[in-house]
Copies of this chain bind each other. A is one copy, B any other.
Amino acid sequence: MSRPRAAIVVTGSELVRGDRNDLNGPFFAREALGLGVEPARITVVGDGPDELESVLREAIGTNELCLVSGGLGPTHDDRTVEIVAKVAGLDLRLDPALEQRIEKVSRLIADRLRRPYADFVPGVRKQATLPTGAVPLGPAGTAPGLVVEAGSCVVVVMPGPPAELRRLWPLALDTEPMRRVLADVRPPDRHVLRFYGVSESAVARALEEAGGDGDGVEATICARDFEIHVDLVADAGAQRRVDELAARLRDPLREYLFAEDERSVQEIVLEACRQRGFRLATAESCTGGLVAARLTEVPGSSEVFVGGVVAYADEVKRDELGVPTELLAEHGAVSGEVAAAMARGARARLGADVAVAVTGIAGPGGGTADKPVGLVHFHAVSPDDEVGLQFELPGERAWIRSRSAVTALHLVRRLLARSEHDQA
């Protein structure tokens, strides 16, 4: 059985102009894949009616599913519903029950803005007008989503704000037309292997030598966040081939393999600390807070992470982290010696068990012949072990900074994994 295909259509003038990056297309695509539906294409289009109609006509005409976001607002520029109805050959009809629900929300907004509700009436009627047979969802704010059949294609239309779209999405899955599309579809078996410290081409070669994909298994190699992910997706009945392939990849790449699930490296670090009862601290120069920001992204990180010092100026390295002035003078702020002193200082001053430090030259200025832009030193300490590292990778400031933040997190991860291994 071949998988049904979904076309994804994202509307928004600011998106097609590149003023903002689209998040809804990738969300729809990941959700579709997880359900066993193949995302065929993602099209971003503005609110011009001709272009929008042409995109929706192609999408609806050639796919089992069409997932649309945006263009559900109250103004005349919000044309998605009207054009979906036109393409599907359906009349538009006011839904009185929906109108009442939207009126309720709109009256609150009118009060808040101190405007007469009469100003809102045309918008409310517009938003409560749906193609015949459409199932309304929500609304989220004043915008309802909808699911409607257009010939042999099921069309799902969702509001553009990503949070609202994500909130209404489960409701769309629970409608009769969507259940019908998904009735015979089995979510694929997936297995991910995540590697760090190895090149994409080396992983590609290992995959080739392990027999490659095929026979109902599709392998995708993808570099993300400076890690290499191998994503194995199995058609029904091919789960054993996935297991075999995964086993054959583990062996040659063992030293780089660090996860077979989707947890971020910061989650893995926090979990490793939690298991050992360790509290964690950071000391950052060139990453300027990125390592701490990643750690505190994780809900509950406060149980493990005590805090960090962003030590940009040398005086802050000295006063807040206790890095000796002589060390700074002798080796310079960007040195393995100072990275080690920063990590030990953070551990002592912040009352942590484990600490990691980063100091480097992110550029574009500040490089010298001895210490060029892209030179970064790292150091991690735990109660029973420590490890230093340096790299020198030319690149742009933002790239050097995020690469350094990821490197620091993987260094702590390795330090904790190593001492765990020694204890075992």
Give the contacts of A280-320 with B (CB-CB under 8 A): 282, 284, 286-293, 295-297, 299-302, 305-313, 315-316, 319-320
Expressed in whole angstroms, the minimum distance between the Cβ of A275 and any Cβ of chain B is 19
Give the contacts of A2-34 with B (CB-CB under 8 A): 13-23, 25-30, 33
Expressed in whole angstroms, the minimum distance between the Cβ of A36 and any Cβ of chain B is 13
One of B21, B33, B51, B364 near A18 (C-beta < 8 A): B33
Expressed in whole angstroms, the minimum distance between the Cβ of A415 and any Cβ of chain B is 20
Given known contacts A292-B289, A296-B310, A307-B311, A19 and B316 CB-to-CB distance under 8 angstroms:
no
Given known contacts A113-B201, A288-B297, A41 and B16 CB-to-CB distance under 8 angstroms:
yes
Nearest residue in B to A20 (C-beta to C-beta)? B224
> Interface 1/0s, chain A 33-53, versus B by CB < 8 A?
100000111111110000100
A393 on the B face (CB < 8 A): no
Q: Are A309 and B310 in contact (CB under 8 A)?
A: yes
A286 to B297, CA, bound (A): 9
A14 to B26, CA, bound (A): 10
Of the stretches A92-100, A178-186, A253-261, A395-403, the one at the interface is: A395-403
Residues of B within 8 A of A307 (CB): 309-313, 316, 320
Expressed in whole angstroms, the minimum distance between the Cβ of A407 and any Cβ of chain B is 16
Q: Are B224 and A19 in contact (CB under 8 A)?
A: yes
Category for how many chain A residues contact B: 35 or more
A268 on the B face (CB < 8 A): no
A108 to B366, CA, bound (A): 30
Q: Are A25 and B14 in contact (CB under 8 A)?
A: no
A12 to B375, CA, bound (A): 32
A264 on the B face (CB < 8 A): no
A55 on the B face (CB < 8 A): yes
Q: Are B308 and A222 in contact (CB under 8 A)?
A: no
Give the contacts of A319-360 with B (CB-CB under 8 A): 319-320, 349-351
Hey, which bits of chain A sit against chain B, CB under 8 A? 13-23, 25-30, 33, 39-46, 51, 55, 58, 113, 163, 201-202, 220, 222, 224, 229, 231, 279, 282, 284, 286-293, 295-297, 299-302, 305-313, 315-316, 319-320, 349-351, 363-366, 395-399, 401
